[in-house]
Chain A
Amino acid sequence: MRAAGPMQAKKRYLMLMLLSSGACFVLLLCFGGDPAARQGRVNRRAVRGSPRGGRPRDRAQPWPRFSDPLQRFAPAAPAGDRLETEEEEERSRRRHAQPDGDASAGARCSMDSCFDFSACARSRSGFKVYVYPRHKGEKISESYQNVLSAIEGSRFYTADPAEACLFVLSLDTLDRDQLSPQYVHNLKTKVQSQPLWNGGRNHLVFNLYSGTWPDYAEDLGFDAGRAMVAKASVGTEKFRPNFDVSIPLFSREHPRTGGERGSLRCNTIPPFRKYTLVFKGKRYLTGIGSDTRNALYHIHNAEDMVLLTTCKHGKDWQRHKDERCDWDNAEYDRYDYKEMLHNSTFCLVPRGRRLGSFRFLEALQAACIPVVLSNGWELPFSEIMDWNMAAVIGDERLLLQIPSIVRTIRPEKILALRQQTQFLWEAYFSSVEKIVLTTLEIVRDRVLRHASRSSLMWNRLPGGLFALPQYSTYLGDFPFYYAQLGTRPERRFTAVIHVVTPLVSQSQPILKLLAAVSRSQYCAQILILWNCNRPLPPKHRWPPTAVPVTVLEGHGKVMSSRFLPYDTIATDAVLSLDEDTVLSTTEVDFAFTVWLSFPERIVGYPARSHYWDANKERWGYTSKWTNDYSMVLTGAALYHKYYHYLYTHYLPASLKSMVDQLVNCEDILMNFLVSAVTRLPPIKVTQKKQYKETMMGQTSRASRWADPDHFAQRQTCMNKFAGWFGSMPLVHSQMRLDPVLFKDQVSILRKKYRDIERP
């Protein structure tokens, strides 16, 4: 303690100083007064003395409280503005429709003035897209080829221009940079000569690059007129909101379908990576877009902020080089772009010559939160995407503030931003197909505005491409938004029993099944889907049940009809059953309580697995007993009604007809679909008897399970499906959910689901 002596003395002096200086200050205050306050006092007096002294002052009073009776800003007419004269009345009706034939009309287009909605009423779905036939000898870049085939593969495609509502040129408009080898000449005349062009009305033009050195004006080289332009690097001034679409710049190597997954594998805490902010790219010494990149060195600190530029690009860089170039170039070579990308929390995405850059998508995929510095850039899909959830939007003018801004972002916000980059990347950007489909869906939402997605559907999992507003515009009708709405799924289900054999005896399994399911406390109704070629049995042949039973004739008696979104299904949950399924009421009850916790997944009993067969280089299917699974059979499974809709309307006809022809694989396809949406495995719950395995061989009928081709077909299906989805969506799980006291050594009377473990 003695050692602290001098310290104490020091502190004492310090305190003395503090005190005395404090006293001085107080004195100063009293006698000198705060100059500003004084002035304020004087000013106030001055105002009182001469009310007309309208001399501008630097400090003003807060807004005063006036005692006068003030007039209203508008007369209290019943409506804001009465129509008094005929003339005004005329003006109140569609005054804003612009006159046709006006050459400059395109510049200020909006959906109301430049789009012909009546064209969309011609088809039932209300939104069909036509692609012009491709002419031989017309060179089309690979990227544009991908764009066109994505449209042709989509459910919006029509080959009939008469029912189309949107038209897409087969002329390659992606690269409109005159210096580019991809540049298509004479596009102007070619476009004008298109038979259905009609001034561009109802056309959608895709473009990645426009304008060229030195001004990079956003010039397409032809008049798009009333056509909507889906364009990358678009500036806000030229952008026609709610008419054009801003798309991301993607490279020639961008995959057509599927696409790579985001690179985030885990949510580390603390979320900070090795670097805070990185950039590595060209520096333009002069000309458009050079300002920001020229100034980046100000915030470079070679530690957590690594901003590297190189002057070495172009033919004559030596000619323009400045005094920093050599040092910059040396520093530039010390770091690896990929390494920095994956090890930084934030990635700077400054404008280049154009407003957008590849860097934006690269950062997004690498879970490196983009810090956008590109004033006037209309961000990709800005119409529907809330970029504040996934990126930091900076201002080029405030470059020097960027370090402090990114440093003040809290860890939990970083976690959220980072996860959102991954969601957006995988939902909308990872393939050309997704970018194109998103563009089409945005236009569709404008056309059918009363049945369009809310912002929540776009910006929350699973994203707008999987949440179809045609199904419902109410968020609670989907399996994805219960948590956001603070609601829960309904505690009832509809059983849909798929029947293919005629009803001949009273001991058929279906009758037992009917009885067992109808006894479930959660069962609201039973739907029997009669896919048998014999006529419907008379009503009395069905046993009496506590819940209503509806018998439906299957549509075309095909497999896919079991997944049609029947209006009769009045509940959120569907229990899909094969006629030969053996289930007890307890098993159904338990599975349903599990589903309530996982409404977005398939919850079922018998499970199957997939694996990668390295020898044959294809996916394999196995029904063996394994320690994990990735599918549950839909012959006995619970899932949300919405998946019926998705199966029917989202999947392409090619896959569905394959299922119908094979009379097989419908369950695999459903599992692919649900896992593609949720990116999660299904859930297997416990079951008393071994289903199917025991059934096989027992039934005398020609069960499809007994067919030796059956298995081979399923293998083929898997590979076909994986091809369409662009990747393998299935995910493995190693667990099964059992009742809490399952097989525990406790009196069976204590157990709620005791029937499940009775032999």
Chain B
Amino acid sequence: MSALWRSSERAAAACVRALGGPAAKWLSRIVGFSMCASVKYGSRGPALIPRMKTKHRVYYIALFSVVLLGLIATGAFQFWPHSIESAAEWSVDRRSVHDAPLVRLPANSPIPERGDLSCRMHTCFNVYSCGYNPKNRIKVYIYPLQRYVDELGTPISSTGLSREYNELLSAISDSDFYTDDVSRACLLVPSIDVLNQNSLRVRETAQALAMLPRWDRGTNHLLFNMLPGGPPDYNTALDVPRDKALLAGGGFSTWTYRQGYDVSIPVYSPLSAEVDLPERPPGPRRYFILSSQTALHREYRGELERLKEENGEAVLLLDKCSNLSQGAVSSRKRCYKSQVFDYPQILQESSFCVVLRGARLGQAILSDVLQAGCVPVILADSYILPFSEVLDWKRASVVIPEDKLPEIYTILKGIPHRQVEEMQRQARWFWDAYFRSMKAIGLTTLQIINDRIYPYAARSYEQWNNPPVVQWSSVNSPLFLPLIPPRSPGFTAVVLTYDRVESLFRVITEISKVPSLAKLLVVWNNQNKSPPEESLWPKINVPLKVVRTKENKLSNRFFPYDEIETEAVLAIDDDIIMLTSDELQFGYEVWREFPDRLVGYPGRLHLWDHEMGKWKYESEWTNEVSMVLTGAAFYHKYFNYLYTYKMPGDIKNWVDAHMNCEDIAMNFLVANITGKAPIKVTPRKKFKCPECTAIDGLSLDQTHMVERSECINKFASVFGTMPLKVVEHRADPVLYKDDFPEKLKSFPNIGSL
């Protein structure tokens, strides 16, 4: 009952979110419950309701409706006034920060310890509060906003809650990391804004942190800071004593960064929101190197100027403008001598953009540079790059020691063009996904911590680093290890049959001659007729199993039966009697060399029909192959598993409904997941091909071709792409047709018609 109750609540909660009000909440609780009850019915319905006597059914339904209506009415009357009131409160969504409760910090209020440099997840983080959950997702709690003042009433921060921190907290609050229940929280985020250390009073801020009700020496608390340190020292981590709290910091150096504990985050650039820079396709740019930072150390500027002298036009060295016309925003202009350039637009005109350290290591300009799709050249020794725990910066940036600044031109010239283009694309993608807003920065930080707590469910390198266009086109074969499986386990032949017993027996007898056959599995797809008695079956040397199916479906042939114990499966129709034992054995040998491909006998091709503007199926004598028919093909059992459980869209049902094209679907599936073409083995022979069975006239044949073409078009649209790969080769034995004594050949009987 409790499970039932929870699910009804969840349904109700979903409704509430949709309707957005307590009135709806109550209503939906009720509806949700009844809905749930009927769902419960639904699962048993067909078995239960029709068998009930009609009289009783009417009675129950009537009773239930009356109760339900009554309840709704009562609920409505009882809670109507409250509901209106609450709804009003919900609609007045906008509040003022000045309404937040004021907290006065006593002067002697305790201060947390300084950050402990030896903190790691297993020492300072309380993992018990995160717990095990099936979603593998941490829960994050945000403290309600409070305004802290010292004893004299002076606020502890000059900005209070900043726009950026507010955005960050809203984003967390809207995400599914958020929980409003502090007792369920794994991570706690204070609402005390410490993004910029310069705008806060360090000691008082620390006191405020220590006053947080669940502070507990900062355990599981996460602080966000982008501008750490302050004059004159500019420490690379927030100076506010914070004990065990995790720090998401924007300018870590190797000395302050606790690897695996802190998170290095970018310094947010406000230009991200202000300026819309459309993505430029990767390629060469007008300038090779651009420096646009205004506050550069004179030594660096000197070195850059020397670089400019040596390389002329290729290097553009900008500085702030000294005499701008009135009204121009100085932060949006840069100058070279008297030339004025728009910033950040000018960044798009260069292949590489220099990001030098300032007083701090983390620079907001990094974000601008990435946004412009310019490859950052980062010169900031010991700087921990943003999100370096998961992002592969080597594919998006060039990191050069500060001492090598004079050599950057030579170093950058050594980078291959295509690499530069990839970096440009990658740079923009990093900005898009992880830099563009406070929301992106905040949620990425949480995801990184989430990955640490549930490492076995962590996002993969590809998920973090591949831009969508690469995600889409790249393939990572599930059978990626180059293994040539041993011959000995052999293969399992799976024969799909309906009622052609005679032909089936011939096929069985033929296949049983193949040396590497390990087992024969007959999939009996005829529900109206039992398979012949055991005594009638051909006597063969390997185990023979008959599986009776519940429904006559084509997908039964690709089911990953437990009876298939070998890796290799030979799918074969019950009328393929013309393949010789040598041909089959050779097919198995070829499959061993290509266990991740379909290895089959009759080959087929897909073509683009320019007139019709769609794909066409071709079975004529072609010089190319992009599919092999599964009427006779070897493949890995894993593909059975994929076909049955991972086939995209409705393809599986569609195939079963149309009783056709299961082989094309299999070819699509394998090509899509491996990115590889099938292998056709041995010469063409006269197949009483599966698609020709029961087809006599030309017209029928044409219908068949039209159907098969339709399949290809249907599948291509479901896959969203045409995964099939065309090749011009087939596999033959090494000595096939060579002038060599036949009896010395391993596979002499190949290609007989």
**How distant is the Cα of A376 from the Cα of B103 in the complex, in angstroms?**
39
Nearest opposing residue in chain A for B267, CB measure: A80
CB <8 Å contact, A236 and B481: no
Does B169 touch A at the CB level, under 8 Å? Answer: yes
B residues less than 8 Å from A626 (CB atoms) = 734
B residues less than 8 Å from A685 (CB atoms) = 729
Q: Given A76-B331, A593-B728, decide whether A91 and B93 contact each other with a Cβ distance below 8 A.
A: no
B residues less than 8 Å from A396 (CB atoms) = 122
**How distant is the Cα of A685 from the Cα of B734 in the complex, in angstroms?**
9
CB <8 Å contact, A21 and B1: yes
CB <8 Å contact, B180 and A62: yes
We find that the number of chain B residues with CB closer than 8 angstroms to chain A is: 203
Does B359 touch A at the CB level, under 8 Å? Answer: yes
B residues less than 8 Å from A243 (CB atoms) = 254
Does B732 touch A at the CB level, under 8 Å? Answer: yes
0/1 interface trace, chain A 39-82, chain B, CB 8 Å (1 if under): 00100100010011110111111111111101111101111111
Which 5 pairs of residues, A with B, have the shortest CB-CB distance? A486-B473, A474-B419, A63-B173, A67-B94, A56-B213
A residues less than 8 Å from B538 (CB atoms) = none
The segment from A384-392, A429-437, A503-511, A655-663 that touches chain B is A384-392
Q: Given A62-B180, A456-B392, decide whether A80 and B227 contact each other with a Cβ distance below 8 A.
A: yes
Kindly list 9 other residue pairs between chains A and B, CB separation below 8 angstroms, not including A266-B595, A456-B465, A734-B734.
Answer: A18-B37, A64-B93, A81-B227, A269-B567, A398-B132, A453-B394, A597-B729, A737-B729, A741-B623
**CB < 8 Å neighbour of A607 from B589, B734, B736:** B734
The segment from A191-199, A559-567, A743-751 that touches chain B is A743-751
**CB < 8 Å neighbour of A736 from B146, B411, B680, B731:** B731
In the complex, 30 of the A-B residue pairs with CB atoms within 8 angstroms, ordered by the A residue number, are A18-B40, A51-B101, A52-B101, A56-B213, A59-B181, A60-B142, A60-B143, A66-B161, A74-B270, A77-B331, A79-B365, A81-B295, A83-B295, A89-B298, A93-B300, A110-B382, A112-B401, A268-B637, A398-B128, A415-B479, A456-B392, A456-B461, A461-B481, A484-B462, A484-B475, A485-B473, A735-B681, A743-B736, A746-B684, A752-B728
B residues less than 8 Å from A485 (CB atoms) = 470, 473-474
| B143 CB to nearest chain A CB (Å) | 7
**How distant is the Cα of A695 from the Cα of B481 in the complex, in angstroms?**
40
CB <8 Å contact, B166 and A743: no
Does A472 touch B at the CB level, under 8 Å? Answer: yes
Nearest opposing residue in chain B for A23, CB measure: B67
Does B590 touch A at the CB level, under 8 Å? Answer: yes
The residues in B between 465 and 517 inclusive whose CB is less than 8 angstroms from any CB of A are 465, 469-470, 472-486, 489
A residues less than 8 Å from B30 (CB atoms) = 26, 29-30
Does A332 touch B at the CB level, under 8 Å? Answer: no
Nearest opposing residue in chain A for B36, CB measure: A22
**How distant is the Cα of A735 from the Cα of B735 in the complex, in angstroms?**
8
The residues in A between 164 and 184 inclusive whose CB is less than 8 angstroms from any CB of B are none
**How distant is the Cα of A472 from the Cα of B417 in the complex, in angstroms?**
11
**CB < 8 Å neighbour of B141 from A60, A83, A375, A472:** A60
Does A25 touch B at the CB level, under 8 Å? Answer: yes
Nearest opposing residue in chain B for A451, CB measure: B414
Does B312 touch A at the CB level, under 8 Å? Answer: no
Does A465 touch B at the CB level, under 8 Å? Answer: no
CB <8 Å contact, A681 and B729: no
**CB < 8 Å neighbour of B170 from A58, A65, A476:** A65
The residues in B between 674 and 713 inclusive whose CB is less than 8 angstroms from any CB of A are 675-677, 680-681, 683-684
Does A117 touch B at the CB level, under 8 Å? Answer: yes
CB <8 Å contact, B474 and A738: no
A residues less than 8 Å from B398 (CB atoms) = 450
The segment from A316-324, A358-366, A400-408, A523-531 that touches chain B is A400-408
The residues in B between 393 and 415 inclusive whose CB is less than 8 angstroms from any CB of A are 394-395, 398-403, 411, 414-415
**CB < 8 Å neighbour of B394 from A415, A454, A686:** A454
**How distant is the Cα of A734 from the Cα of B589 in the complex, in angstroms?**
7
Report the tally of A-B residue pairs with Cβ distances under 8 A: 474
B residues less than 8 Å from A405 (CB atoms) = 132, 456
The segment from B281-289, B525-533, B652-660, B737-745 that touches chain A is B737-745
Does A123 touch B at the CB level, under 8 Å? Answer: no
| A260 CB to nearest chain B CB (Å) | 15
The residues in B between 132 and 163 inclusive whose CB is less than 8 angstroms from any CB of A are 132, 134, 141-146, 159-163
Does B719 touch A at the CB level, under 8 Å? Answer: no
Nearest opposing residue in chain B for A596, CB measure: B727
**How distant is the Cα of A59 from the Cα of B144 in the complex, in angstroms?**
10
| B12 CB to nearest chain A CB (Å) | 10
| B364 CB to nearest chain A CB (Å) | 4
CB <8 Å contact, B143 and A91: no
CB <8 Å contact, B40 and A264: no
B residues less than 8 Å from A70 (CB atoms) = 97, 160-163, 166
Does A536 touch B at the CB level, under 8 Å? Answer: no
**CB < 8 Å neighbour of B458 from A53, A241, A388, A423:** A388
**CB < 8 Å neighbour of B103 from A54, A68, A474:** A54
Q: Given A30-B74, A453-B394, decide whether A739 and B623 contact each other with a Cβ distance below 8 A.
A: yes
B residues less than 8 Å from A731 (CB atoms) = 484
CB <8 Å contact, A236 and B736: no
CB <8 Å contact, A419 and B481: yes
Does A395 touch B at the CB level, under 8 Å? Answer: yes
CB <8 Å contact, A742 and B621: no
CB <8 Å contact, A735 and B589: yes
**CB < 8 Å neighbour of A68 from B98, B403, B623:** B98
**CB < 8 Å neighbour of A401 from B103, B132, B362, B382:** B132
CB <8 Å contact, A112 and B381: yes
A residues less than 8 Å from B483 (CB atoms) = 264-267
CB <8 Å contact, A65 and B95: yes
B residues less than 8 Å from A68 (CB atoms) = 96-98
0/1 interface trace, chain B 213-254, chain A, CB 8 Å (1 if under): 110000000000011000111101000000000000000011
Does A327 touch B at the CB level, under 8 Å? Answer: no
**CB < 8 Å neighbour of A266 from B40, B475, B489, B734:** B489
B residues less than 8 Å from A338 (CB atoms) = none
**How distant is the Cα of A212 from the Cα of B310 in the complex, in angstroms?**
59
Nearest opposing residue in chain B for A447, CB measure: B401
CB <8 Å contact, A753 and B382: no
B residues less than 8 Å from A404 (CB atoms) = 132
| B540 CB to nearest chain A CB (Å) | 24
The residues in B between 355 and 377 inclusive whose CB is less than 8 angstroms from any CB of A are 357-360, 362-365
The segment from A7-15, A250-258, A307-315, A634-642 that touches chain B is A7-15
Q: Given A71-B160, A415-B638, decide whether A629 and B232 contact each other with a Cβ distance below 8 A.
A: no
Q: Given A80-B358, A419-B481, A752-B728, decide whether A96 and B255 contact each other with a Cβ distance below 8 A.
A: yes
Does A534 touch B at the CB level, under 8 Å? Answer: no
0/1 interface trace, chain B 637-679, chain A, CB 8 Å (1 if under): 1101100000000000000000000000000000000011100
**CB < 8 Å neighbour of A627 from B97, B132, B733:** B733
Nearest opposing residue in chain A for B232, CB measure: A87
CB <8 Å contact, B625 and A95: no
**How distant is the Cα of A81 from the Cα of B120 in the complex, in angstroms?**
31
A residues less than 8 Å from B641 (CB atoms) = 269-270, 411
**CB < 8 Å neighbour of B173 from A25, A62, A386:** A62
CB <8 Å contact, A266 and B732: no
Q: Given A63-B173, A70-B162, A393-B456, decide whether A484 and B392 contact each other with a Cβ distance below 8 A.
A: no
Does B51 touch A at the CB level, under 8 Å? Answer: yes
CB <8 Å contact, A79 and B226: no
B residues less than 8 Å from A31 (CB atoms) = 78
Does A449 touch B at the CB level, under 8 Å? Answer: yes
CB <8 Å contact, B401 and A8: no
A residues less than 8 Å from B745 (CB atoms) = 627
Q: Given A30-B75, A60-B141, decide whether A744 and B359 contact each other with a Cβ distance below 8 A.
A: no
The residues in B between 578 and 593 inclusive whose CB is less than 8 angstroms from any CB of A are 586, 589-590, 593
Does B110 touch A at the CB level, under 8 Å? Answer: no
CB <8 Å contact, B455 and A393: yes
CB <8 Å contact, A25 and B5: yes
B residues less than 8 Å from A88 (CB atoms) = 231-232, 234, 359
